[in-house]
């Protein structure tokens, strides 16, 4: 390597430049990530304070499930309008990804901790269900929204997810709530809501689904430029509010 005057650049100077470039890259990545968190929270993809205060874990999870169903309905209703379907598909994927990671990080370890072997079996079953959903979401990432193949795979994902949701709501989590008690349920609900904020827009099947790696792997697996792109195609706040009207916390 030569300097602008044509003379060779000393090795020490070259190394210093490398370190500087690397530091700049890290700073840029960090700034982009912080900006992403700020944007996500400001745009309402974080839970409103009223939803995360005084709500049991089961209620918080049920509310998420109803939102997922609402976004799926909106996707189906938007048939023929590719732009609207793209926005609802993004919203649906976002909601499924952050909800799944919240459960994997906070709820499934608690099942194992509070309910021993029985809880472990439930958690493993639920993780396997999530893996099927993640694999499906990964598959449709490269497909055209609204195409027959996209719709067919998304329908399969959603019917599998509905079965999973039913099991969680009717069997796994009511038993968990009985095991941990009301106060603990309230505090875990808050952790669950907080954890969901740190989630990439797309679900990455290769990310481990057990702590302590999920957060880090999930974050590392999120291509930051893709995150920015994805933010440009979401339903408006008004559209989301209309889609989820009537979904209230159920304690
Ligand atoms: Fe789940």
CA of 104 to the centre of ligand 1 (A): 8
For ligand 1, the distance from its centroid to the CA atom of residue 43, given in whole angstroms, is 24
pTM: 0.66
**Domain residue spans in the chain?**
1-42, 48-243
Cα 30 to ligand 1 centre (Å)? 30
48-243 folds as: 1.20.120
DSSP state of 168: I
Cα–Cα distance measured from residue 39 to residue 226, given in angstroms and rounded to the nearest whole number = 14
Provide the residue-wise pLDDT of the chain in tens; the chain has 251 residues.
444 445 555 655 555 554 454 444 444 444 444 444 444 444 444 444 344 458 999 999 999 999 999 999 999 999 999 999 999 998 898 888 888 888 988 999 999 999 999 999 999 999 999 989 888 888 888 899 999 999 999 999 999 999 999 999 999 999 999 999 999 999 999 989 887 766 554 445 555 555 444 444 444 444 444 444 454 566 777 788 888 887 765 54
* Residue list, CB under 5 A from ion ligand 1: 103
Tokens in use for 8? 């060779």
Any residues with CB less than 8 A from the CB of 212 and at least 6 apart, and which? none
Using DSSP, state whether 2 is helix, strand or coil.
Answer: strand
Distance 17 CA to ligand 1 centre (A): 47
Instruction: Compute, in angstroms, the gap from residue 189 CA to the centroid of ligand 1.
Output: 14
Q: What b/e sequence results for 132-156 when a residue is b if at least 16 CB atoms lie within 10 Å of its CB, and e otherwise?
A: ebbebbebbeeeebbeeebbebbee
Q: How far is CA 46 from the centre of its chain?
A: 11
Q: How far is the CA of 27 from the centre of ligand 1 (A)?
A: 35
């Amino acid at each position: 390597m030569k300097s602008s005057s044509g003379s060779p650049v000393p090795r020490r100077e070259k190394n210093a430049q490398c370190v500087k470039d690397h530091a700049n890259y890290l700073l840029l990545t960090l700034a982009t990530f912080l900006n992403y968190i700020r944007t996500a929270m400001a745009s309402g993809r974080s839970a409103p304070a009223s939803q995360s205060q005084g709500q049991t874990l089961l209620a918080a999870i049920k509310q998420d499930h109803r939102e997922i169903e609402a976004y799926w309905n909106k996707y189906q209703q938007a048939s023929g309008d590719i732009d609207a379907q793209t926005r609802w598909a993004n919203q649906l994927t976002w909601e499924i990804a952050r909800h799944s990671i919240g459960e994997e990080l906070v709820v499934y370890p608690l099942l194992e901790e509070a309910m021993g072997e029985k809880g472990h079996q439930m958690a493993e079953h639920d993780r396997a269900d999530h893996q099927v959903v993640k694999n499906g979401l990964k598959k449709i990432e490269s497909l055209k929204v609204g195409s027959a193949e996209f719709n067919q795979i998304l329908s399969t994902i959603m019917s599998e997810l509905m079965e999973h949701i039913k099991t969680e709501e009717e069997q796994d989590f009511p038993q968990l709530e009985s095991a941990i008690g009301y106060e603990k349920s309230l505090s875990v609900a808050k952790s669950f809501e907080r954890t969901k904020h740190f989630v990439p827009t797309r679900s990455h099947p290769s990310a481990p689904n057990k702590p302590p790696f999920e957060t880090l792997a999930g974050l590392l697996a999120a291509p930051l430029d893709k995150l920015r792109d994805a933010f440009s195609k979401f339903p408006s706040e008004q559209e989301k509010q209309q889609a989820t009207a009537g979904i209230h916390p159920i304690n």
